[in-house]
Amino acid sequence: MATERTLSLIKPDAVEKNCIGKIITRFEDANLRVVAAKMIWLNKKDAEKFYSVHKGKHFFETLIQFITSGPLVALVLEGDNAILKNREIMGATDPRKALPGTIRGDFAKGVERMERNIVHGSDALETAEVEIPFFFSERKIFAERNVQTS
Ligand code: ATP
Ligand code: MG
């Protein structure tokens, strides 16, 4: 299996619910390693850029409002098959459809608003390659090959 990197966002609803640590534990338990992390409050311009693929969709405005409503935690996760594995443990996009045992199923239980779904994860290699540099320069990613030994 290929070692991959994926961008994960622990969204403002999760930060508000005080479950950052519990979510990171889910990643670690799935053998995904945190190789970069920071807390950041996105402004409207950056949020619109990050979600530009959804521009024009009916939920775009509410999505931007939500993602800029408070700080979030951006992470780079690394591991075997990281992109698909992360999508699996996140669960379905719609919290009402996410199964128990998934991050969304457990932390967005009873949530009716689709944008309030706790986490984001890159959906493909090409997406990860754009989304990771949006938040982190290569030297801020502490994969084994970047860790300084001197
Ligand atoms: P993400 O990109 O956050 O990992 P996803 O790939 O499962 O989630 P997308 O289709 O890329 O879902 O949508 C991006 C985000 O936009 C979703 O996570 C959700 O927060 C929001 N969203 C998607 N569809 C809707 C909708 N119909 N109504 C409200 N918000 C939506
Ligand atoms: Mg997506």
Q: How confident is the model at residue 146 (pLDDT cuts 50, 70, 90)?
A: low
Q: Which tokens belong to 121? A: 């994860």
State yes or no: pLDDT of 148 exceeds 80: no
User: 11-35: per-residue pLDDT in tens?
Assistant: 999 999 999 999 999 999 999 999 9
**What are the angstrom distances between the C-alpha of 87 and each of 40, 48, 71, 98, 124?**
22, 22, 22, 11, 10
Q: What is the mean pLDDT of residues 119-147?
A: 92
Residues 6+ apart with CB under 8 A from 135: 7, 36, 38, 40, 74, 76
pLDDT exceeds 60 at position 149: no
Residue bearing the CA closest to ligand 1, atom 5: 93
Across the range 36-59, mean pLDDT stands at 98
Task: Give me ligand 2 centre to Cα 114, in Å.
Answer: 12
Which three-class secondary structure string do you get for 49-74?
HHCHHHCCCCCHHHHHHHHCCCCEEE
pLDDT, average across residues 2-15? 97
- Residue 95: CB atoms within 10 Å: 23
Q: What is the mean pLDDT of residues 77-85?
A: 98
For residue 147, pLDDT beyond 70: no
Query: What sign does the CA torsion over 87, 23, 78, 119 have?
Result: positive
Ligand 1 centroid, distance to 60 Cα (angstroms): 9
| Cα–Cα separations (whole angstroms), residue 124 to 2, 63, 94 | 13, 21, 19
Is there an atom of ligand 1 within 6 Å of 117 CB? yes
- Ligand (nearest to CA of 92): 1
Residue 150: predicted pLDDT: 47
Task: Work out the pLDDT band at 94, boundaries 50, 70, 90.
Answer: very high
Q: Kindly name the residue from 107, 120, 122, 136 that is annotated as catalytic.
A: 120
Instruction: Describe the crossing of helices 20-29 and 82-90 by its angle, rounded to 10 degrees.
Output: 130
**With a 6 A CB cut-off, is 63 part of the ligand 1 pocket?**
yes
| 58 noted as active-site residue | no
Q: Is 86 in the pocket of ligand 1 (CB under 6 A)?
A: no
Q: 120 in ligand 1 pocket by Cβ < 6 Å? A: yes
State the pTM of this model: 0.95
Strand order in the sheet with 3-10: 33-40, 72-80, 3-10, 119-121
| Structural tokens at position 87 | 């999508």
Section 96-115 average pLDDT: 97
pLDDT at 72 over 90: yes
CB of 99 within 8 A of CB of 87? Answer: no
Average pLDDT over residues 91-117: 97
What does pLDDT average to over the chain?
96
Q: Ligand 1 centre from 147 Cα, in Å?
A: 34
